[in-house]
Amino acid sequence: MDFGFNEEQERFRVEVREFLQKELTPEFWQGLGTKPPEDQEYSQEFSRKLASRGWLGIGWPQEYGGQGRPYTDQLVCAEEIAYHRAPILYHFWAVDLAGPVLIGVGSEDLKKAYVPGILAADINFCIGFTEPEAGSDLASLQARAVADGDDYVINGQKMFISLAHKADYCLLAARTNFEAPKHRGISLFVLDMKAPGVNVSPTPTMGDMLASTVYLDSVRVNKDALVGEIDRGWYHLAICLDHERIFVGALVARRRRMFDELVEYVRSTRRNGRLLNENPHIRNNLAQIGIELDVGRLLSYRTAWLLEKGAIPFAEASMTKVLTSELDQRLTNFGVNVLGLHGQLKQGSKWVPLQGRMEQAYRVSILESIGGGTNEIQRSIIALMGLGLPRD
Ligand SMILES: Cc1cc2nc3c(=O)[nH]c(=O)nc-3n(C[C@H](O)[C@H](O)[C@H](O)COP(=O)(O)OP(=O)(O)OC[C@H]3O[C@@H](n4cnc5c(N)ncnc54)[C@H](O)[C@@H]3O)c2cc1C
């Protein structure tokens, strides 16, 4: 059993870390610090810097401008980026979700049209799957795409679409066959978000990021915008999930950073004359969270390793997501309590400890057990695919 990264990967980790430390200077953060929290994680300029090093397409095939490297290399890079809290929201949906689907099943014309722009961080995507009546049961989606000459005409409504108001394009799921069983009548399209009939209504979330309702009113897309086979969209979506799994793993590193800062805080902060790190309740909780962070990290490595071996780690990826999202809720809930009443103040207040990051992370943590598929659904996947229990 070889338990660890190879020398080349360790060197790569150092290279990414040094780059991030050089780029993410106090001046860089100061510039972002004046923006609302959502925009602090959104920077096309920074995404372009990653792009210029080839780090947006580490796991992508070389023929499409990627580096063709293993998933674990991609995870190493993603972990460092997450630990350093580098902004990724400009490119995330394009690189981790839409791009892999285009490469996997898109036509050559679609690949030529969008893949270079994604890899250069010149264009970005949102993901338009969820609808008011189709979230967990996504296959019930009702947006309709009806063929009309060279086009499809699309009508419907999408909900909770992250950063749709800033996206150039959307990877959209719509129903193209109204007679077939629900999983067999869905197709994917590239939708230009500036097309006539697309209306975006941004909705604030408790995590600051805007997740929009998108209204589609007789929107015309050319038939060339169909991604993959007609009516096979449900099966093409699995590609999105594979790549999202790597990202979920990398998020453990973001939690580790929050944890490290909390440990440092209790080491250096006195309350009622005593250092917080002498408090047994605080020590026990930190020890427990530290254990779970390590478990989450190992689970994420196992997921990447399985992907590299060609397996599809349904259950393992769901385990990572459930464990780490709920751990995040425990960590940030505990963190906000340890910081005391000032810990509930928002970023920008002169009294808030840890620059208000704990309070913001606490609000974001609530969304993490919902976005990308709720934890109830993840548990159902673990029962079905991991334990072999019957479908509920
Ligand atoms: C911050 C955020 C960002 C998002 N970004 C996007 C995006 O960019 N693009 C996109 O397409 N979608 C996005 N979503 C939507 C997300 O994928 C859905 O919210 C999620 O899949 C749940 O769907 P729902 O909200 O309709 O809840 P529902 O499916 O209505 O579920 C409601 C509750 O019932 C439970 N439940 C439902 N069915 C079952 C079952 N069979 N067994 C047990 N429990 C069940 C759920 O777990 C949940 O607790 C985002 C969501 C959030 C919170």
CATH number at residue 150: 2.40.110.10
Residues 84, 222 within the same domain: no
| CATH code, domain with 83 | 1.10.540.10
Q: Is 274 helix (H, G, I), strand (E, B) or coil?
A: strand
203 lines ligand 1 (CB under 6 A): no
Mean predicted lDDT score pLDDT of the chain: 93
- Specify the range with the lowest mean pLDDT, choosing from 121-125, 231-235, 260-264, 342-346: 342-346
Nearest residue (by CA) to ligand 1, atom 40, is 377
Q: How does DSSP assign 181-233, residue by residue?
A: -GGGSEEEEEEETTSTTEEEE--B-TTS-BEEEEEEEEEEEEGGGEESSTTBH
Residues 110, 134 within the same domain: no
Predicted pLDDT at 129: 96
> Which pLDDT band, with edges at 50, 70 and 90, does 245 fall under?
low
Residues 41, 132 within the same domain: no
Last residue of a domain, one of 177, 202, 231: 231
Q: 374 CA distance to ligand 1 centroid (A)?
A: 6
User: Which of 89, 130, 363 is the best mutation target for the ligand 1 pocket, counting ligand atoms within 8 Å of the beta carbon and taking the most?
Assistant: 130
For 186-214, what is each residue's pLDDT tens digit? 999 999 999 999 999 999 999 888 999 99
User: Quick check: is 30 in a domain?
Assistant: yes
Kindly tell me the burial class for residue 376, based on how many C-beta atoms sit within 10 Å of its own C-beta (0-12, 13-18, 19 or more): exposed
| CATH code, domain with 375 | 1.20.140.10
Percent of the chain with pLDDT over 90: 78
For 35-50, what is each residue's pLDDT tens digit? 766 777 788 999 999 9
User: Quick check: is 273 in a domain?
Assistant: yes
User: Quick check: is 2 in a domain?
Assistant: no
Predicted pLDDT at 250: 76
User: Which of 96, 124, 131, 136 is the best mutation target for the ligand 1 pocket, counting ligand atoms within 8 Å of the beta carbon and taking the most?
Assistant: 136
Predicted pLDDT at 273: 96
Residues 113, 143 within the same domain: no
Residues 90, 113 within the same domain: yes
Residues 261, 219 within the same domain: no
Average pLDDT, integer, range 324-340: 96
Nearest residue (by CA) to ligand 1, atom 43, is 376
**Angstrom distance (rounded) from CA 233 to CA 228:** 7
User: Quick check: is 391 in a domain?
Assistant: no
Atom of ligand 1 nearest to the CA of 173: 11
* Active-site option among 41, 79, 131, 244: 244
Last residue of a domain, one of 70, 99, 119: 119
User: Quick check: is 109 in a domain?
Assistant: yes
Q: 159 CA distance to ligand 1 centroid (A)?
A: 10
CB atoms within 10 A of CB 79: 24
Residues 215, 264 within the same domain: no
Last residue of a domain, one of 231, 252, 268: 231
Q: 70 CA distance to ligand 1 centroid (A)?
A: 31
User: Quick check: is 360 in a domain?
Assistant: yes
Predicted pLDDT at 314: 86
Active site residue 18: no
Predicted pLDDT at 33: 65
152 lines ligand 1 (CB under 6 A): no
Q: 218 CA distance to ligand 1 centroid (A)?
A: 26
Bridge partners (DSSP) of residue 131 are 134
Predicted pLDDT at 344: 92
Residue 142 has pLDDT above 90, yes or no: yes
Q: Taking a C-beta distance cutoff of 8 angstroms, is the pair 195, 220 a contact?
A: yes
Residues 163, 180 within the same domain: yes
How open is the CA angle 57-241-55, to the nearest 5 degrees? Answer: 15
Average pLDDT, integer, range 82-89: 93
Predicted pLDDT at 214: 98
Residues 318, 205 within the same domain: no
Beta strands at 125-128 and 169-175: parallel, antiparallel or unpaired: parallel
Atom of ligand 1 nearest to the CA of 137: 29
Residues 368, 244 within the same domain: yes
Neighbouring residues of 11: CB distance < 8 A, sequence distance ≥ 6: none
Residues 374, 246 within the same domain: yes
User: What is the tally of structural domains in the chain?
Assistant: 3
Residues 242, 189 within the same domain: no
What is the span of the domain harbouring residue 149?
Answer: 125-231
**Angstrom distance (rounded) from CA 288 to CA 10:** 28
- Position with higher pLDDT, 310 vs 298: 298
Q: 35 CA distance to ligand 1 centroid (A)?
A: 29
Q: 81 CA distance to ligand 1 centroid (A)?
A: 27
- Position with higher pLDDT, 247 vs 343: 343
Predicted pLDDT at 242: 65
Average pLDDT, integer, range 343-350: 89
381 lines ligand 1 (CB under 6 A): no
- Specify the range with the lowest mean pLDDT, choosing from 7-16, 32-41, 100-109: 32-41
378 lines ligand 1 (CB under 6 A): no
